[in-house]
Amino acid sequence: MIDRSGRLAALAAAFVIALVLAGPPARAEEAFRIGHLGSGAHQGEAERLEPFRAYLEARLQRPVELVPHRNLQTLVLALTSGGIDYAPLPARGFALGMLACGCLEAIALQPDPQGRTGYHAALAVAAGSRFHSLDDLAGARLVIVGEGSTAAHLVGLAELARIGVERTRFASIGFAPSIEAGAAAVASGEADALLSWSFGDDSGPAGAFARLPEPGALDIVWLSRPIPYGPQVMRADADPMLKAAVADAVTQLSFEAQPEAFEAIDRGTGRPFLRIGTSAYQPVIAALSQFSEAQ
């Protein structure tokens, strides 16, 4: 006859054996966290992004969550600290994150309506002037559109320095609040050269210069390396298979097949997303690094 304590011991032993045979308890799949701006002008962003969240959840076969942030700084911090797994960032925000930790990876970007993937810092002079190339600009007066601007001020000066054209090449460097004001300074003789941005294609004056009443009054004599549009970003230390799956999901998204999910992340261009690598953003990363060191 087995007493009560014996029966309990037998039950406990049977329970242990059952646990061993069953293996470790199943663990809920960790959620994939998408960061986004969610305050001010971005209120309602979570509702707009919901179709994309649902699409990605179905593609990844794991829970996907939307995580709002009050500004770009906290969004970048969440990525660099591992608080979120994915977020769309402007090129400057991505570069700041890379300078903070070197732990981010660009996986995709959306081209503009014409299919371009970025733009350039551009240096222009008055058409018909004595300045025809960078070599002619020793002692010239330079005006930059937008103090602190990514393309003209930061990338423009850094890219010029990269090819040996230091700030000391110019007699003076000033700033204009707009392309129109900068062009007016060149036209009036107050400045000899203007640093702004352009698409750098063969369609004539484009980008900021296209806004001028007489865009042909300026000749572009130099373009920087391409500055890509803002990327879709993940952490570089994410599982390689997960990164590939997310990149595939984003770049295979189309308006024809998944209109609601596509519109949720479309930046108004209607173009499908393309793969992009972190190295494409080196001009912006290097420019911000130089600017930070100079402060």
CATH of the domain at 273: 3.40.190.10
Confidence grade of residue 201 (pLDDT, cut at 50, 70, 90): low
Q: Has residue 8 been placed in a domain?
A: no
Q: Has residue 7 been placed in a domain?
A: no
Domain range enclosing 146? 118-225
Confidence grade of residue 205 (pLDDT, cut at 50, 70, 90): low
pLDDT in tens, 102-134: 999 999 999 999 999 999 999 999 999 999 999
pTM of the model: 0.86
Q: Has residue 188 been placed in a domain?
A: yes
Q: Has residue 17 been placed in a domain?
A: no
Does one domain contain both 220 and 123? yes
Q: Has residue 21 been placed in a domain?
A: no
pLDDT in tens, 233-288: 999 999 999 999 999 999 999 999 999 999 999 999 999 999 999 999 999 999 99
Q: Has residue 156 been placed in a domain?
A: yes
Write a three-state SS string for the chain: CCCHHHHHHHHHHHHHHHHHHHCCCCCCCCCEEEEEECCHHHCCHHHHHHHHHHHHHHHHCCCEEEEEECCHHHHHHHHHHCCCCEEECCHHHHHHHHHHHCCEEEEEECCCCCCCCEEEEEEEEECCCCCCCHHHHCCCEEEEECCCCHHHHHHHHHHHHHCCCCHHHCCEEEEECCHHHHHHHHHHCCCCEEEEEECCCCCCCCHHHHHCCCHHHEEEEEECCCEECCEEEEECCCCHHHHHHHHHHHHCCCCCCCHHHHHHHCCCCCCCCEECCHHHHHHHHHHHHHHHHHC
Domain count, the chain: 2
